[in-house]
Amino acid sequence: MRTHLTVSLVFILASCSARAQMPSMVPDPASPSPQVSVTVPTGKQAIDSILDELTVEQMVGQLVFPWLLGDYASFDQPVFDRTSDLVEKSEVGGILISIGSPLDVASKLNELQRRSRLPLLVAADLEWGSAMRLVGGTAFPYPMALGATDRELDAYQMARVTALEARAVGIHMTFSPVADLNNNSANPIINTRSFGEDAESVSRLISAYISGAEENGLYTTAKHFPGHGDTGTDSHIDVPVASACWDRLDTLELAPFRAAIEAGVTAVMTAHIALPCFHPDDEQLPATLSETFMTDVLRDSLGFEGLVVTDALIMGAIVNRYGTEEAVIRAFLAGSDLLLMPTNIPEAIEAMVNAVESGRIGRERLRESTRRVLELKFDAGLFESRTVSLDRLPSAVGTQDFIAIADDIAARAITLVEEGPIREFRADTGSWALITYAEETNLNVGNVLLGELRTADNTVSSFRLYPSSGPMSYDSARTIMSRNDRILFASSVRPIAWRGHIALPDSLARTIEIVSKVKPTVLASLGSPYLLNQLAEFEGGFLLAWSATPASEKAVAAAVTGAIPISGRSPIRLSDEYPRGHGIQISGQ
């Protein structure tokens, strides 16, 4: 039977942290008071008072985060009711918010905050800026682009802007930066989400990112521990296996995590990957469920004292083998504090409660993790004010000043791998065939690029290809290419969860090779930098833009028309011919 929590504690202003003063946490004057008023606690003694009034079930609830889409929904729709039930009845500790407009996200979160007994901690994946989840937020190029500029200030600025926009809508924590070293070209899920493959360079950028975010009120999460980069399987589908043993792990994969901890990262997220060298008796044991990694290495060896967060527990690498109940228990016993997105949240909470009551989970261990969550909420100022002002969002999210920062980084990140005819393209205007490729769900890819090419006084004909495109579509694309003097392929091959591969369709790869032999051709990658591995007979220019965000597409157009210099250098090894650091430099005109 759940007891009702009533907490009334004296607030001492001097005890508030700087984060509690963030302007994005200004309360909405139109907002009604939460159901249960919880005044700001004042340090360890006050947190103890809260903990003393929580039941085991309520403590467990504070460790569980469900997923919520940020799109518009009236507050009486079933989908919102289900989340509201988790907040009011299961008393979950926070929300993982997904895609929606800033206004829709903020209004949903405000309402849930009002309904929650204790304030909710809100998190989101914001790896390449708030636009990853906020429609209209600032979209930076993917992190590997920052590896191509190799400037710590760029990482700091990306994180600073992301922090200001996130806090404005009521998001307190980002599940970024990605601290994985992408040292496996076959990795289908990390790729350009990583800053690169060099431990020293990635560590510097990780540290700068954490400083930029945390100094502006956004908590950070280094992921995926102990390193997901050198794997060839998507953990959303099955358990990836990494061959690293301690000597390799200690000197390479763990370096960015050490840097993150030293920089003051708030949380570390687990990886659902297996490292058989450490568990020869269970070679498929995910690190998420391994006490060796989550406690012995992360806590004891690396000295991390913050929150340990599981990667999503609905992912195939976990749920297919262990099921909902055993997964949450084993993840917690291994060392995690936050249990992210269990398949069935009420069942997961019940399983944890039963494990405590049976003695499998110690009550002090549960109290310790709950304390970490409550202390973070206190540090974020959520006991003082848990809602945000909707009126200020249009002046706080997606501003021109923020977009200009993203555009500047994207322009300096453009990396020329193979020159081909690009100097000819930059010398004068011409007749272009723009052939774009992206998955069917990403209909906007190429639109900004097309518009920018046309504003540069070029004649441009365009055609879209998709994974499902058949012979008739390719015939149409070839017809357009035959009518124009120069060809620009723009390909968005990117890491997508549950897909399991990251490559061009064979039919497109062959078309690019053939066309490059008969017409001046440039291939711009708006995603994976490894496309030349499929293009042994390609004879054109190869340009890396690292992502298909508007900033990156504008940068491609400026690079091929000569409007900007080309100065990026690859932060990864593309092949023996193109080692890390390769990049043909072209000055501006």
**What pLDDT digit, counting tens, does each position of 173-193 carry?**
999 999 999 998 888 889 999
pLDDT value, residue 484 = 97
**pLDDT at residue 352 is higher than 50:** yes
Q: Which residue bears the tokens 């280094």?
A: 222
**pLDDT at residue 535 is higher than 60:** yes
Nearest-Å Rg of the Cα atoms of the chain is: 25
Under 8 Å between Cβ of 464 and 413: no
In whole angstroms, give the CA distance from residue 566 to residue 215: 32
Strand order in the sheet with 415-418: 415-418, 541-544, 521-525, 486-491, 431-437, 459-465
pLDDT (tens digit per residue) in 138-171:
999 999 999 999 999 999 999 999 999 999 999 9
Q: What is the DSSP letter of 170?
A: T
* Catalytic entry in 172, 224, 228, 236: 236
3-state DSSP helix/strand/coil % of the chain, to nearest 5: 40, 10, 45
Is 379 catalytic? The answer is no
In whole angstroms, give the CA distance from residue 336 to residue 329: 10
Contacts of residue 48, Cβ cutoff 8 Å, sequence gap at least 6:
none
In whole angstroms, give the CA distance from residue 543 to residue 525: 6
Token pair of 543, please?
């340009």
Domain ranges of the chain: 17-395, 414-561
Strands 415-418 and 67-68: unpaired
Closest of 382, 458, 363 to residue 57, by C-alpha: 363
Euclidean distance between the first and the last CA atom of the chain, given in angstroms as a whole number: 73
pLDDT value, residue 11 = 32
Closest of 473, 476, 528 to residue 501, by C-alpha: 528
Closest of 245, 249, 241 to residue 285, by C-alpha: 241
Is there a shared CATH topology between the 17-395 domain and the 414-561 domain? no
**pLDDT at residue 316 is higher than 80:** no
CATH architecture of 414-561: 3-Layer(aba) Sandwich (3.40)
Mean pLDDT to the nearest integer, 501-521: 93
* Catalytic entry in 150, 230, 311, 379: 311
In which band, very low, low, confident or very high, does the pLDDT at 523 lie, cut at 50, 70 and 90? Answer: very high
What is 484-518 written as a DSSP string? SSEEEEEE-----TTT------HHHHHHHHHHHHH
Topology given in CATH for the domain delimited by 17-395: TIM Barrel (3.20.20)
Closest of 24, 169, 33, 22 to residue 104, by C-alpha: 169
pLDDT (tens digit per residue) in 85-112:
999 999 999 999 999 999 999 999 999 9
Q: Which amino acid is at 362?
A: G
pLDDT (tens digit per residue) in 17-61:
333 333 333 334 344 444 444 444 456 678 989 999 999 999 999
Is 85 catalytic? The answer is no
Closest of 336, 343, 334 to residue 315, by C-alpha: 343
